Amino acid sequence: MSVFPLRPRLDVRGLALLLFAVVGWGSNWAPLKLLLQEVPPFTARAYAGLAAALFLAIMVRASGVSLRVPPGLWPRITLLALLNITAWMGLVSLALQWLDATEGVVITYTMPVWSALLAWPVLGERPTPMRLLAVACGLGGVVLIMSAKGINIGMEKLPGVLLCLSASICFALGTVLTKRRPLAMAPAAGVVWQVALGMLPLLFGALLFETPHMAEVSTQGWLIIGYMATLPLCLSYLAWFAALRRLPAHICTQGSLISPLMGLISANLMLGEPLGLRQLVAFGLILVGMVLAVKG
């Protein structure tokens, strides 16, 4: 018998589920950019999101999980829906009017950095030197992206940058608030209601401010809407929660770092967006910032 303790083996199925989830999320950026060439941003998100909420509700209910929201929880779940879904998806979709998908991926995935900062006022966790360094790395990556083609063009991209940063900060706030007081219901059921409630403002925005010509949407456009509803917004979430049940939380957190890399690769392959040294260095800075934020 070995005198050394054996390491617990990681669940292979859990790792496969984790990989499926993060690849699904990361591969969503390039198709969304293509869809926005045919469909206005709120409409693009609302159609896919409401279909995803319906699919999720059917699958979660079929698995035996109750969708009932406990009394008194509606205000909190609505707030989280506005932060995690409405702001995240709405602002990112608007931002892609000014930014390439590659730029949007890099800037938006600064969210762990903002979570580390927001943990101070919300959770009382004072920022450590490592977390402050994470912020510096994240902002360095954003500046590098903005200055890719000169300061004037960088300023033209400023609305998109600010929208992506706002989306990232809103999502980070939603994450920190959830950590402070987790929803007293099944996680998958919470996602169903957040997606459904979060899509309603986007639907109202689409009805009030946009005039989509859905009859003119190409077959590719409808396929993208179906893809977004099925994989990133439905199956990836279900796979993520299944992975969380099988794997340690820190493995899932580190595995999620694959998602922005998939976004960069898909934007390069599907849209022909540049993936040169500057983009890789910017992504590297933000990746370091994400790791430091998680570790710190």
**8 Å CB contact between 260 and 289:** no
pLDDT over 90 at 286, yes or no: no
4-8, 18-22, 56-60, 230-234 — which is least confidently predicted?
Answer: 4-8
What value does the mean pLDDT take over residues 246-267? 74
pLDDT for the residue numbered 3: 45
Cα 91 vs. chain centroid, distance in angstroms? 12
Token readout for 148 is 């890719």
74 vs 143, which has greater pLDDT? 74
Mean pLDDT across the chain = 83
**8 Å CB contact between 97 and 41:** yes
Taking Cα atoms as reference points, which of 172, 217, 209, 208 lies closest to residue 48? 217
pLDDT over 60 at 167, yes or no: yes
pTM above 0.75, yes or no: yes
Q: 3-state DSSP call for residue 152?
A: helix
pLDDT tier for residue 254 given thresholds of 50, 70 and 90: low
Residue appearing with tokens 């303790």: 5
pLDDT for the residue numbered 227: 93
pLDDT for the residue numbered 1: 42
